[in-house]
Amino acid sequence: MSRPAHDIIVFGATSFVGQILCRTLLRRFGAEGPPRWAMAGRSQDKLEALRESLGKGAAGVPLIVADAADEPALRAMCGQARVIVSTVGPYALYGEPLVKACAESGTDYCDLTGEVQWIRRMIERYEDAAKKSGARIVHCCGFDSIPSDLGVWFLQRESRQRFDAPCTRVKMRVRAMRGGFSGGTVASLMNVVKEVGRDPSLRKELANPYSLCPKGHPNKTRQPQVKGPAFDEDFDAWTAPFVMGAINTRIVQRSNALSGLSYGKTFAYDEAVLTGRGLSGRVKAAGMAGGLGGFMVAAAIKPSRWVLERFVVPKPGEGPTPEQQEKGFFDMRFHGTTEQGRSLRAKVTGDRDPGYGSTAKMLCEAAACLAEDLPRDAAGGFWTPSTLMGEALLSRLQQHAGLEFAVLD
């Protein structure tokens, strides 16, 4: 088989995240690689404007025109790439044709979606095709859910080395974080709310912690959830719900399932935000929980959702400034306990705005890992970041993406 013209194609290059990703790829690999990469989108004019904005060093980056709804164009694009990175969201509205084209053509794929219901549909519809063609499909290669997924994977690796056993109970707590939302992220969240409004049965599915696990998954353990203010004795602090927990916990559970229950048959996992000790920590936790709950209620009601979309939340194409991305960071703490009661703590930190500056670097390294580090005969199918890329991706993230994985005790 002849080698494709490009190792990586960024589809949706002119989107808010796509532009940040292209700048990241240019800084990391230059215009000609390796890996060799190209920019793709539906508008030749916008692609040319983006390439010009990247500076003279980007003059050699190839451009590919393809629309998210044009299946023949998407198939032609797949024929030119080893890996396609998609930043075209909301994925539930625009993402399926590309996943289908990649799964059927044997082209590896990654994205930064956090849309649980869409991921499940893609697995149900195209996993057999991906296994047959050899395509490796990896969703959630940004802030949701690489720090959580690789963080648990790292903790479990250390636990097996130290205790010869996995941690069957793991907690992730956000110790500190600074960053902003983009219009694309908000649009994806709003679309989930709209889907639930049209199909109330989706609410039950979204509440299922094992919704992304393969059929017949044997783990029936009742999963803990932080739904309001709660005191966590392991961290000696109050906690509030973490908005990304809904997707991260599902990805971590799928990783356990795909790895043959390597985290244990009764593995339990949850996520929350640390808000501090004493009365001030409790008040802050209550405020965060109330604010998140109020936002979701407002988003579920059509008139108030219109107000939010029109006057409150950022619009598609809007997001944190370069300076805000530069000053952003995140610090996530993990606490694991084995069945024998032995405990282990670890942390995952990032040096940029989690949703954009850091996400672009994570997505860049995930794509490069798919293109360069995996054996070409690695099994096709729908994977999680940790189960497909594991050690290779963790090494890339620490060396090139500003992430640190460390044991704390």
Same-domain check for residues 176 and 64: no
Residue 177 and residue 147: Cα distance in Å, rounded? 13
E strand residue ranges, 160-283: 167-178, 230-232, 237-241, 268-276
In a domain, 115, yes or no: yes
Concatenating the DSSP letter of every residue in 298-360 gives HHHSHHHHHHIIIIISPPTT----HHHHHH-EEEEEEEEEETTS-EEEEEEEESS-TTTHHHH
Classify the phi-psi angles of 55: left when phi > 0, otherwise alpha if psi is within -120 to 50, otherwise beta. Answer: left
- The identity of residue 305, as a single letter, is R
SS3 275: strand
- Specify whether 193 is located in the same domain as 325: yes
- In whole angstroms, give the CA distance from residue 112 to residue 365: 13
φ, ψ at 243 (rounded to 5°): -60, -30
Domain for residue 344, yes or no? yes
What is the domain range of residue 235?
146-350
Based on the fold, state whether residues 101 and 171 are members of the same structural domain.
Answer: no
- 268-276/237-241 β-pairing: antiparallel
Can you tell me the distance from the alpha carbon of 138 to that of 110, in angstroms, rounded to the nearest whole number? 5
CATH number, residue 373: 3.40.50.720
Instruction: Report the Cα–Cα distance between both ends of the chain, in Å, rounded.
Output: 49
Angle at CA of residue 219, ends 213 and 221, nearest 5°: 120
- Which of 112, 111, 109 lies closest to 101, judged by CA? 109
Q: How confident is the model at residue 182, as a pLDDT?
A: 62
Residue 308 pLDDT: 84
Question: Do 204 and 62 sit in the same domain of this protein?
Answer: no
Q: Based on the domain organization, do 277 and 336 belong to the same domain?
A: yes
Helix (H, G, I), strand (E, B) or coil at 175: strand
Going from the C-alpha of 114 to that of each of 138, 139, 258, 392, the distances in angstroms are 12, 8, 19, 23
373 and 300 within one domain? no
Block residue for tokens 């649009």: 187
Select from 50, 47, 107 the least CA-distant residue to 76.
107
Q: What is the pLDDT of residue 19?
A: 96
Is 119 part of a structural domain of the chain?
A: yes
Q: Is 167 helix (H, G, I), strand (E, B) or coil?
A: strand
Q: Which residues contact 1 (CB under 8 A, 6 or more apart)?
A: none
* Residue-level pLDDT at 183: 66
Size of the chain in residues: 409
Query: What value, to the nearest 5°, has the Cα angle with vertex 214 and ends 210 and 219?
Result: 50
Please report the pLDDT score of residue 326 as a whole number. 86
* Same domain flag for 54 and 95: yes
Whether 112 and 94 map to the same domain: the answer is yes
122 close to 94: Cβ distance less than 8 angstroms: no
Contact 83, 110 (CB under 8 A): yes
β-sheet bridge partners, residue 137: 109, 382
Q: What is the CB-side half-sphere exposure of residue 315 using CA atoms within 13 A? A: 4
Report phi then psi at 175, rounded to 5.
Answer: -80, -40
389 and 322, same domain (yes or no): no
Is residue 92 domain-shared with residue 151, that is, in the same domain? Answer: no
β-bridge partners, 347: 333, 406
Shared-domain flag, residues 164 and 119: no
Look at residue 408 and tell me if it is in a domain. no
Candidates 129, 232, 253, 105; CA nearest to 173 is: 232
Instruction: Tell me what pLDDT residue 2 has.
Output: 67
What is the reported pTM? 0.96
Q: 406 in a domain, yes or no?
A: no
404 occurs within a structural domain: no
Per the domain annotation, does 72 fall within a domain?
A: yes
User: pLDDT at position 297, please?
Assistant: 85
Domain-located, residue 71? yes
pLDDT at 210: 96
205 and 78 within one domain: no
Q: pLDDT by residue for the chain (409 residues), tens digit each?
A: 567 899 999 999 999 999 999 999 999 999 999 999 999 999 999 999 999 999 999 999 999 999 999 999 999 999 999 999 999 989 999 999 999 999 999 999 999 999 999 999 999 999 999 999 999 999 999 998 999 999 999 999 999 999 999 999 999 999 999 987 666 677 777 888 888 888 888 888 889 999 999 988 887 899 999 999 999 999 999 999 999 999 999 999 999 999 999 999 999 999 999 999 999 999 999 999 999 889 888 888 889 888 888 887 777 667 778 888 888 999 999 999 999 999 999 999 999 999 889 999 999 999 999 999 998 778 999 999 999 999 999 999 999 999 999 999 7
Q: How many domains does the chain have?
A: 2
Local structure of residue 265 (DSSP, 8 states): T
